[in-house]
Structure 1
Amino acid sequence: MKDNILVIGGTGKTGRKVASKLVNLGHNVRIGSRSASPAFDWDHSETWRESLQGMNKVYITFQPDLAVPGALEAIEELTRQAKRSGVKKMVLLSGKGEREAELCEQVVMHSGLDFTIVRASWFNQNFSESFFLEPILEGFVALPQAEVKVPYVDTEDIADVAVAALLNDKHNGKTYQLTGPRALTFKEVIAEISEVSGRDIAFTPIALPAYVNVMKQQGVPADFVWLIEYLFTEVLGNPNNAEITNDIEHVLGRQPKDFSDYVKETTTTGVWNPKALV
């Protein structure tokens, strides 16, 4: 039996992979994004009803993060509209160790719909598709919390778990915490990328207040500065986030991708080659 599945954030790091895997399995997929038709815009709840129409399952990624102010109200409204539209199941991508995000999780858990919560550690792809990429290309990375270890998880693994959760009722009511197989510091991460890519990339620890000031001086939007400060204090500052889980193995029956394998694969794409930008 084929499902009609709305993938909110279907052009993002995990969403595009979830959508692709579902399409390959023969399911009917609707992309939830501002550029899609019908358009889905988190900032305009009046756009959501048309995207939800006819869908029986939804994969939810919230931008920029479930911890930001306004996310709780948005998830509450989305859940109300989803129930009215006849949605039967929601799979929510959340953040591992984010207390504010857990309030959004509770909304989904108590919605009366079938659900699965997928809490992910920081993504491997933050270093190739997100805000860490630019300093890597410049060859100089300065970050706070330099000695904190993070069990980075690959978006391919997250997508595989999300697809399993969407399609199999045995995952209903479950909360999974997804991590990679080992934890690394920022210094170790940059060293691996530098070695495999053959580039000289320097890493320097920096105090969080100084890092925040640099972002402000560069004109980074205030809401993004808030999020980064939150993530570096509340999330990276939480020792529980270094915990390595076996939930990927439990759900998928295989080991999660190691960071080294991600680095080897990503290096072949040329994304860390500054000449690729010329």
Structure 2
Amino acid sequence: MTTLIIGGPGRTGTRIFDRLTAAGRPVRYASRRTGFDWDSATSWPAPLAGVTAAYVCFAPDLAFPGVPEKMRELGRMAAAEGVERLVLLSGRGEEGARASEAALREAGVPTTVLRCSWFQQNFSEHFLAGPVRRGRLRLPAPDVPEAFLDLEDVADAAVVALTSTDPEDRTYELSGPELLTFADAAQVLSVAGGRSVTFEAVDVPTFLADLAADGVPAQEAEPLAGLFTDILDGRNASLAGGIQELLGRPASPLREYARRAAAAGAWA
């Protein structure tokens, strides 16, 4: 009953690994460190051998050109190795990711797709941590509502999908429990961190320059800018019930995450 985490010890993978390990379930990573390479399909069969379930996290994004072909081949190999279920991390409102979701399912392995809203932890563990410390969220997007999602909830949901008695071939939309604009989110972060944080809509070059100040390379920052300008247009300004369906409880609000992050010294 071994579970494979494809994509390595990232922000979701590490949390899932820790939960499965604590539950006494065999689990292992597949990443560049273990010889797995998304650009070399010959490296995929070995980690899939003997696996019952696999969590799939592709970086930088499922919507990128060529990714559906990779997902199709991964699904084929998983079926050939006898993998019983797959859980795919996807993005809510990302039309380009739909082809990758469909391609992974083509070989017939039951696949649970988790379509997620913007992660709350982007403010402390990813590209928005520096802007929060500087007190200015400078983003190339209008101040539209978003249902920010806690990664702890995502990990809990993924574990349920990976370990349930019957594999599901189903798509869940995951969101936080409230709609907040980025200005609202800045206010929540201000209260939790005890420092002023404001939101400012800026153009893409200004956004890229802001991230460059934190050492975020252009090849990572530019796709992020593309996501902001593409999907932050109000299409996700609604709440989704996937967390309640999978976990039987409400999703965690941004203020709870912010309190935890501030207490842990995320923005010190």
- 1:261 is matched with 256
C-alpha change, 1:264 and 1:221, in structure 2 (3 Å) is closer
Return the match for 1:177 from 173, 182, 196. 173
- 1:46 is matched with 42
- 2:159 is matched with 163
C-alpha change, 1:99 and 1:169, in structure 2 (3 Å) is farther
- SS for the counterpart of 1:233 is helix
Q: Percent identity?
A: 37
Structure 2 distance, partners of 1:176, 1:231, is: 21
Structure 2 distance, partners of 1:131, 1:216, is: 10
Structure 1 distance, partners of 2:64, 2:97, is: 8
- 2:79 is matched with 83
Q: Are 1:26 and 2:21 counterparts?
A: no
Structure 1 residues 197-251: Cα deviation after superposition (integer angstroms, max 9, x where no partner): 11233432213464357668998655434422331122112x3311101221111
Do 1:150 and 1:184's aligned partners in 2 also have CA atoms closer than 8 Å? yes
Return the match for 1:110 from 106, 111, 118. 106
Structure 1 residues 39-69: Cα deviation after superposition (integer angstroms, max 9, x where no partner): 3222333322221111121100001111122
Unaligned runs of 5+ in 1: 274-278
Aligned length: 268
Shift of 1:148: 0.9
Alpha carbon RMSD of aligned pairs, Å?
Answer: 2.1
Map 1:1-278 → 2, pairs under 5 A: 3-35=1-33, 38-170=34-166, 172-208=168-204, 210-212=206-208, 221=217, 223-237=219-233, 239-273=234-268
What one-letter code is carried by the residue in structure 1 that aligns with 2:123? F
TM-score (structure 1 length as normaliser): 0.89
Do 2:110 and 2:167's aligned partners in 1 also have CA atoms closer than 8 Å? no
C-alpha change, 1:32 and 1:50, in structure 2 (3 Å) is same
C-alpha change, 1:218 and 1:17, in structure 2 (3 Å) is closer
Q: Pick which of 60-69 and 220-229 moved more.
A: 220-229
Shift of 1:267: 0.6
- SS for the counterpart of 2:10 is coil
Structure 1 distance, partners of 2:261, 2:69, is: 37
Structure 2 distance, partners of 1:218, 1:133, is: 9
Structure 2 distance, partners of 1:151, 1:124, is: 9
Structure 1 distance, partners of 2:241, 2:200, is: 32
Do 1:68 and 1:227's aligned partners in 2 also have CA atoms closer than 8 Å? no
Structure 2 distance, partners of 1:113, 1:25, is: 25
Shift of 1:135: 1.5
